[in-house]
Amino acid sequence: MLLVTAREMAELDRKTIHEIGIPGIVLMENAARGAAAFYLDLVPDLFKRRIAIVAGTGNNAGDGFVLARIFHDRGAPTQVFCLRPPERLQGDALTNFSILEKMGVPVTVWDEGMDFNTQWKGVAENHVLVDAILGTGLKREVQGLYRKVIESINALPVPRLAVDIPSGLDACTGKVLGAAVMATGTATFGCLKIGQVIEPGMDYVGRLHVVDIGIPRDVIQGSGIQRWWADETFLKGWLKPRHPGVHKGTAGHVCVLSGSRGKTGAAALVCQGASRVGAGLVTLFIPDSLNSILEVKLTEAMTFPVPETEERSPSPSALPRILEFLQGKQVLAMGPGISLHQGTQELVRQVVGQARCPLVLDADALTAIVGHLPLLGQARGPVIVTPHPGEMARLTEQNTREIQENRLEVASAFSRRHGVTLVLKGLRTIIASSDGRLAVNSSGNPAMASGGMGDTLTGMIAGLVAQGYGPFEAACLGVYIHGAAADRCMGAVATRGLLASDALGEIPAVIGRLESSHHAAPSCGL
């Protein structure tokens, strides 16, 4: 599903109305009817409750007026509160307001000359509140009457149902513009808005539902927007079921450079992640003195001892053996637990510049390229980097707060500038491709905040690359499957207590769901 900005959504509406010829009032009707169905699912006894619809003056208000008509027709006691005089309405919103008047739906027009609390009592006595005040075009901070109304709405102990977007939320960034409605549920129209699925906006939308308002598929597909919400529906069809004749030699060979003294667990998790997503063969480059440990710890993966430093981390002298073994292999995953030893860091940089296969760089390998970013552009194969926000801050010479407040922009700019696929980890992980494609991941839960999770993900992405998936596709699939496996482990059980190794066993079930939908899935245009 597409993720759009407010401007992009407005352009989709414009093309539908003016180029295709579907009247705006039809789109408004479709939006309200879809929203009403969603709200009824959210509040099953909705039509038995007293409903207040608080409206502004734009199309968001028009959607609210149609909802008022629908609720009134279904016998629900419904009252509309207009925060501005009806004379300020125009277009489709004005048309639907006029219909309300003819139907006798009670309408109260706010009088700013009167006491606020006296007027608010009329709203507060209702059992459901519909927010139809401000839409997705909001750019300025909410002030005055609108702000006071929003703050008062949030104080009501009733379901708060947002029309398209909670009033006061920036549709593009998810930032709160002064004050925003804390919705129980949001019915958004046409496409998901970026600000609804990233922090802090995701905390304001409540349960989120996209209403199909009738924008033709050709209009959406022809928009040129390359930004998606990566959920199971979007990823359907990406994982192709294997041919019965496949064998380990044709299912891809993953090489892993990972592990040092005290960090052998990281190496094991990378290898297990690669194996679990279906890599046919996995070989771990491991410091010679640690080989016996990994041979016991790993059953399916092979080990390849390499020269080590005095700290028992991979030594620069290992480079020729590594490069020779990499010939004919499909991918190298590098970084987790290899240490910050100066010699090991130099080895990483040499491998990045000389290896001919695709690379997945994580953890200590990312530290090695800080200050050496031109190496990414010199790599001889595709590169996927998987930083968490702190690592991203070091790579870009920013602070973590700046990264977190501008995650999409930072990820997109870095991937384009350095020609890599970037996986910016964290809540709603972002996957950005150098060709402009970008996805926001939908899966995962707070219990994933435990050591080793990133190591497993590195192996999973590498395992998918080894099987022939492109860097962007492998990253999207790896991130989603990883989070969905963790969701299967925890569900609603708890928000902590999950080990990185726990999720490994759930990976095949998630893959099975994606594989089973392959033949029925439409093209994703990738």
Q: What is the DSSP string of 331-363?
A: EEEE-TT----HHHHHHHHHHHHH--S-EEE-T
Q: Which residues pair with 490 in a beta bridge?
A: none
pLDDT tens, position by position, 84-131? 999 999 999 999 999 999 999 999 999 989 999 999 999 999 999 999
C-beta of residue 449 within 8 angstroms of C-beta of residue 330? no
pLDDT at 350: 97
| Mean pLDDT score, 209-234 | 95
pLDDT tens, position by position, 344-392? 999 999 999 999 999 999 999 999 999 999 999 999 999 999 999 999 9
Count how many Cα atoms sit within 13 Å of the Cα of residue 47 in the half-sphere of its side chain: 13
pLDDT at 492: 72
Q: Is 281 helix (H, G, I), strand (E, B) or coil?
A: strand
Q: Which helix (H) or strand (E) holds 463?
A: helix 453-466
Which among 475, 481, 392, 393 is positioned nearest to 435, based on CA atoms?
Answer: 475
Which among 446, 422, 441, 425 is positioned nearest to 496, based on CA atoms?
Answer: 446
Confirm whether 3-223 and 248-516 share one CATH topology: no
Q: Is pLDDT above 80 for 259?
A: yes
* Overall residue count recorded for the chain in this entry: 526
Instruction: Give the separation between CA 286 and CA 264, rounded to whole angstroms.
Output: 9
Instruction: Give the separation between CA 315 and CA 305, rounded to whole angstroms.
Output: 11
Instruction: Give the separation between CA 313 and CA 258, rounded to whole angstroms.
Output: 9
Helix axes 389-396, 407-418, angle to 10 degrees: 50
Peptide bond into 336 cis (omega under 30): no
Rg (CA), the chain: 27
C-beta of residue 460 within 8 angstroms of C-beta of residue 478? yes
> Which residues contact residue 489 at a Cβ distance below 8 angstroms, ignoring those fewer than 6 apart?
447, 498, 502, 503, 506
Nearest 5°: the CA angle 98, 104, 107 is 70
CATH classification (class only), 3-223: alpha beta
Only one residue has tokens 């552009």, namely 377
Task: Extract the tokens encoding 303.
Answer: 């080990």
Q: Is 304 helix (H, G, I), strand (E, B) or coil?
A: strand
Q: Is pLDDT above 60 for 439?
A: yes
pLDDT at 247: 94
Q: Is 224 left (phi over 0), alpha (psi -120 to 50) or beta?
A: left
pLDDT at 240: 86
Q: Is pLDDT above 80 for 501?
A: yes
Does the domain formed by 248-516 have CATH 3.40.1190.20?
Answer: yes
**What is the chain's mean pLDDT, rounded?**
95
Cα distances (Å, whole numbers) of residue 333 to 55, 211, 348? 54, 41, 11
Q: Which helix (H) or strand (E) holds 439?
A: strand 438-441
Q: Is pLDDT above 50 for 525?
A: no
Q: Is pLDDT above 60 for 519?
A: no
pTM: 0.93
Task: Extract the tokens encoding 43.
Answer: 């509040």
Query: How do the domains of the chain map onto residue ranges?
Result: 3-223, 248-516
Instruction: Give the separation between CA 196 and CA 4, rounded to whole angstroms.
Output: 10
pLDDT tens, position by position, 43-65? 999 999 999 999 999 999 999 99
Distant-in-sequence contacts of 109-116, Cβ < 8 A, 24+ apart: 109/82, 109/85, 110/81, 110/82, 110/83, 110/84, 110/145, 112/145, 116/148
Burial 199-226 (b: 16+ CB within 10 A, else e): bebeebbbebbbbebbbeeebbeebebe
pLDDT at 518: 59
